[in-house]
Structure 1
């Protein structure tokens, strides 16, 4: 029997709850421990989600030799320090996106992982999802020609609350890092690095972007129009115009969804269902990498994370958003 891989959680919030639900779908995965600076919160999360142990400090959990890998699920601004802490305790890390607040922090995380010979990956679940893999297979095949245009949005209405993580500048708030990262990643993943980046934003009372619009221009004439919004619900679809077809990923495109292909001959669609929230695919990949003794993902590689954070840095510079 293959031994189980024991997961530890730092940051018992909403995203961690979804992740642990998905973890139940992963073969040989075990939710072993959860840590919070508030012991009661950790104990409540452990009880609700079936974790074996609860810790009132991160260091205490990281000293537990039974913990194999840690999922960091705290607000953006804490990713850097908490990932470094895990890595220095020789714990493998799956860190929620964005990896960190800027490229400099990401480079330090990567360097520390290499120095300690420990696995590290940004929890960008998109490339592991079946419908995105299906999309990429179609694009890579070239059967419908090259991509000429991409539009992708992600928006939802969130009532303004200056104390919410989403609006607090001190916690890395704003639409870009929280949800705009998804359309940006999709463009990078399917079209590569652009030669020109344009960006505008609507800044709110707390000086973070509540709406962000980005245009990527490519050497071959292709364009990507990307939108994020926390002031209203948007279609949250992705649309690719190719030379001989169009491909639409229906709402919500960043989740397992339906892919619709339209050509001169007609329309065909394929729907992708999952047993849980969809995080099981990235978790399963992490376990595969650990069993193979890898210290870097061969899908969500360090270079992928570098490209993503560099693009986010450039967009933030253009919309004058500094943390």
Structure 2
């Protein structure tokens, strides 16, 4: 069943890290530990932060600000790890410098911004991908194999949740509308993208949610419909640590994906005929798989990944645009 290639077999590539926050640190650690890629530069508006980041991850070059990073001749690809509100600007900056780009999820604030990035990448002939690392993990590939083999029959429902307890702080990125905060773009993108991966574009979208005092979404429940009898039921919240599990239920059985469903994890298949088996959790973190995908596609001269195409990203962004409209979240400048 294991078809996912070892990230160490991907061609070497030289990364520049744009932004020196928490997710950038996770990415840098994964690249260093599990790939043949090099981290050659990091850029941050804060010199001290950049220098600490560089020391922690063995990065030789520090840039204060981002233009120097994207124009660094040693950098092949730029990983954009700034807040959602900055993704479009920073991705376009890297593309204008002729660099390949991996942009943290959610890719942008909205679909219109995503379309701008892809248009620029198409014109420049550079690779761009949303960093939806879940799509490249071994257990997700195994899930597709199980479903494609008909083990659970026709999919009737996909359910997934992603909630994390985040104490209210109006200065926090997650609660700041100027930084495109809220549960959906930071956490809810995982269940939405998971449903999209297995079911595609929904026929209808219904969402209910509650806002925080700063006007971003604190919690949202989403119902998606597909065809005559298939649904996805999704939830995201900043106010509680939810199980972060997923279920895929079909006419001949169901699959229970352990938490965190979006990370390297295990799942259990239970068929109506009584047969039960499990896929065991791999022993490593997961961001190296998306990094390896970038390296492989760039080496092949491709501009997008077949597992996370530009249209895939746009479809997920359009779904989230509709969800935000229904719950009343508008970011400054949209």
**How many residues in Structure 1 have an aligned counterpart in Structure 2?**
321
Pick aligned residue for 1:272 from 281, 305, 312: 281
Pick aligned residue for 1:163 from 171, 174, 181: 171
* 1:78-117 deviation digits (Å, cap 9, x = unpaired): 0000000000000110000111111111111000001111
Alpha carbons 2:78, 2:99 under 8 Å: kept: yes
The equivalences for 1:106-125 within 5 A come to: 106-125=114-133
Q: Which whole-Å CA distance do the structure 2 matches of 1:254 and 1:62 have between them? A: 30
CA RMSD of the aligned region, Å?
1.2
Gaps of 5+ in 2: 1-9
Alpha carbons 1:154, 1:180 under 8 Å: kept: yes
Q: What SS does the corresponding residue of 2:157 show, helix, strand or coil?
A: strand
Q: Which whole-Å CA distance do the structure 2 matches of 1:175 and 1:27 have between them? A: 31
The normalised TM-score by structure 2 is: 0.94
For residue 53 of structure 2, what is the aligned residue in structure 1? 45
The normalised TM-score by structure 1 is: 0.97
The equivalences for 1:190-209 within 5 A come to: 190-209=198-217
Structure 1 pair 252/259, CA: closer, same or farther in 2 (3 Å)? Answer: same
Q: Which whole-Å CA distance do the structure 2 matches of 1:274 and 1:197 have between them? A: 36
Structure 1 pair 213/167, CA: closer, same or farther in 2 (3 Å)? Answer: same
For residue 141 of structure 1, what is the aligned residue in structure 2? 149
* 1:62 is the counterpart of 2:73: no
Moved over 3 A (4+): none
Q: Which whole-Å CA distance do the structure 2 matches of 1:176 and 1:4 have between them? A: 34
Alpha carbons 1:26, 1:283 under 8 Å: kept: no
For residue 231 of structure 1, what is the aligned residue in structure 2? 239
Q: What SS does the corresponding residue of 2:173 show, helix, strand or coil?
A: coil
Q: Which whole-Å CA distance do the structure 1 matches of 2:275 and 2:306 have between them? A: 36
Which stretch of structure 1 is more off in the superposition, 54-63 or 74-83? 54-63
Which stretch of structure 1 is more off in the superposition, 222-231 or 3-12? 3-12
Gaps of 5+ in 1: none
Alpha carbons 1:26, 1:284 under 8 Å: kept: no
For residue 82 of structure 1, what is the aligned residue in structure 2? 90
Alpha carbons 2:151, 2:253 under 8 Å: kept: no
Q: Which whole-Å CA distance do the structure 1 matches of 2:217 and 2:28 have between them? A: 30
Structure 1 pair 27/235, CA: closer, same or farther in 2 (3 Å)? Answer: closer
The equivalences for 1:284-295 within 5 A come to: 284-295=292-303
Q: What SS does the corresponding residue of 1:166 show, helix, strand or coil?
A: helix
* 1:28 is the counterpart of 2:40: no
Q: Which whole-Å CA distance do the structure 1 matches of 2:266 and 2:55 have between them? A: 35
Superposition deviation, residue 3 in structure 1: 7.5
